[in-house]
Chain A
């Protein structure tokens, strides 16, 4: 057996018995993926709040008003009066109230009318994106109804002339618009498509804590000295750490994909789309893994105590995560902050994963991110080897 194989086997044995450490490495990102996928769902794909969160008052009572209610998704409960809607909003039972004013049907057919036909009452804390989505749905249905109402007087005349005037379905008016994503894998960017790669990257870098602690313990306990006295090269000892934690990182990748694919939708979120190039995904996972492990070894080489390593590694990881769009998605960052993300290794990892998951990147078309990560890994590993040799 070679020293490298012996070291790898030893690390795997020790890792397998560190149940708490493994639990953190796997459970922490899984929980984050669940929470953030559900919490950010409406930020990525604004949709009308479900029926528990909005209420309609029909002050017109005409077939047109009924058609409007029917055109909006889901059968909405109707309030007895305007005051009931306001009271429900005040009590926090709903976030949106839709008021169909009296004279709605009549106003639809009046081309000269400028007054609002319906009113949306919104709770001030409602996310703007959700409000905009609701407004869009209502406006689309009202616009379709109004087109129908305005052309109605001319239908008979047009029919005699052999012209077919449009009869728009308020519920299907959205079909007139199609949105396509450029360079897309066919999967829109949902909260789960963002959260899985984001927290996977964070978790892979999180090996800094267990790895550096193991490493520093070896140095403090004299094991490092003992191994070096047996003429085991520093590079072999470093490689002996890289391989087992690389396998751990691949395990994390598999588990987080399963969480995103099967667990998140069970709890009401979207399912992770996995129509990806698996070779590209493996390449990105490998690049992120090596960068995280390299960073962990560099921290371990600098820190003298496990407390120092935990502090340095933990704080740096949080900074990398905050800047790189892990904790706050880049799409909600101002443009200037999005530029800063380009300097975070976690940002490179996240962008690379998004290329694979959302932009349909294949192995051959991966961008600069994996190379940046591999460069970062090489720099960190070289620094660790130099520092450890110098410390002797």
Chain B
């Protein structure tokens, strides 16, 4: 339904690429979780897919039925609706913009309201809705054109756990209906919960992309070890060479951080460290999850 081929975009000729050679594909009934630190290029990528920007190199290809007007919908992170209007009036407006009217419009509005559970508050002004209701309205507007491709940008920001669970369940239902969804978020657990595939993007490039299980299986976990006696420089060099001690990883509190590749057992690593550095007094073992993978790929440095 969607294919990006080596897409590039930058805001000025002398600026670095905001999107740098991204190639992705998305099929029916698939959720692609899009992760990246602030300023990584996620929003630019979404804008390129939504047609708000034209790629300066490469191509964005939308296949039927997403290619027709209303065939895809962008649901921005902001509350992109009119607070003075009621929920229904907002939906009527966007239905009108899509050229829907009469019975067809009424049916689509009813379906969109039902999809996000807004029937009971349809006549309430958007400004008077809670944060959770506003998020649902934001999504409902995206659904009014019955799109087959949905671009969801941080759709659960600022909502309570109940609303978040409802929204995630709604996304699952939409996927089950055969819609393709790009789901951009900072919440790893959400992407982990609903993403069929995950793409991690940073500095405009896709660092990794694939089914979550595959990514985690190939990932390197981190192990932090505290030994009884602080190692000197010579010992640190041996630990780095023989046990994978991460460069500059000794914190003020004396924890040593080691990489644990998928093919190596934790037991083996601890045995080797003990042999070189003496008794181990504490161990912290990062499990292989999406957040750990994300931090490994994008590093710990603060972004915007």
Contact = CB atoms under 8 A, between A and B. Distances in A.
Interface of A: 1-3, 5-7, 9-10, 13-14, 17-18, 220-223, 225-232, 392
Contact of A225 (B52, B79, B85, B94): B52
Nearest to A15: B84
B117 interface: no
Contacts of A231: 51, 69
Q: Indicate the member of A14, A220, A227, A230 with the most B CB atoms within 10 Å.
A: A230
A326 to B, nearest CB: 31
A222 B47 CA distance: 12
A2 B98 CA distance: 8
Given A6-B93, A7-B97, A230-B98, A223 B82 contact: yes
Contacts of B101: 1
Contact of A223 (B81, B84, B100, B105): B81
B53 A13 contact: no
B52 A392 contact: yes
Interface stretch (B70-78, B183-191, B216-224): B70-78
12 contacts: A6-B95, A13-B89, A18-B84, A220-B78, A221-B78, A221-B79, A223-B82, A226-B75, A226-B76, A226-B94, A229-B51, A230-B98
Contacts of A18: 84
A14 B84 contact: yes
Nearest to A6: B96
Contacts of A1: 95-96, 99-101, 105
A231 B97 CA distance: 9
B188 to A, nearest CB: 24
Interface magnitude class on chain B = 20 to 34
A226 B141 contact: yes
Contact of B99 (A3, A222, A226): A3
Contacts of B51: 228-229, 231
B52 A222 contact: no
A13 B85 contact: yes
A3 B80 contact: no
A245 B214 CA distance: 57
Contact of B96 (A3, A17, A225, A226): A3
Contacts of A9: 93, 96
Nearest to B76: A222
Contacts of B69: 230-231
B80 to A, nearest CB: 4
Contacts of B74: 225-226, 229
Given A1-B101, A230-B97, A392-B53, A13 B84 contact: yes
Nearest to B90: A10
B50 interface: yes
Contacts of B81: 221, 223
A227 to B, nearest CB: 6
A220 B78 CA distance: 8
Nearest to A16: B84
Contact of B52 (A2, A3, A220, A229): A229
A320 B76 CA distance: 39
Nearest to A8: B96
A339 B58 CA distance: 57
Interface string B91-130: 0111111111100010000000000000000000000000
Q: Indicate the member of B75, B79, B89, B94 with the most A CB atoms within 10 Å.
A: B94
A6 B97 contact: yes
A245 to B, nearest CB: 15
B145 interface: yes
A14 B82 CA distance: 8
A52 to B, nearest CB: 51
Contacts of B92: 6
Contact of A226 (B70, B80, B85, B100): B80
Nearest to A228: B52
A13 B91 CA distance: 13
Contacts of A13: 84-85, 89
Contacts of A222: 76-80
Contacts of B95: 1, 6
Contacts of B84: 13-14, 17-18
A1 B102 CA distance: 8
B181 to A, nearest CB: 15
Given A221-B81, A226-B76, A230-B94, 8 more contacts: A1-B95, A6-B97, A7-B96, A221-B78, A221-B79, A221-B80, A228-B52, A392-B52
A305 to B, nearest CB: 15
A227 B82 CA distance: 12
B180 to A, nearest CB: 16
A5 B52 CA distance: 23
A324 to B, nearest CB: 33
Nearest to A5: B96
A222 B74 CA distance: 10
B52 A10 contact: no
A1 B144 CA distance: 15
Nearest to A392: B52
B140 to A, nearest CB: 13
A223 B70 contact: no
B76 A227 contact: no
Nearest to B127: A17
A14 B85 contact: yes
Contact of A2 (B75, B77, B85, B99): B99
Contacts of B94: 226, 230
A3 B70 CA distance: 13
Contacts of A227: 97
Interface string B134-162: 00000001000100000000000000000
Contacts of B78: 220-222
Contacts of B53: 392
Nearest to A224: B80
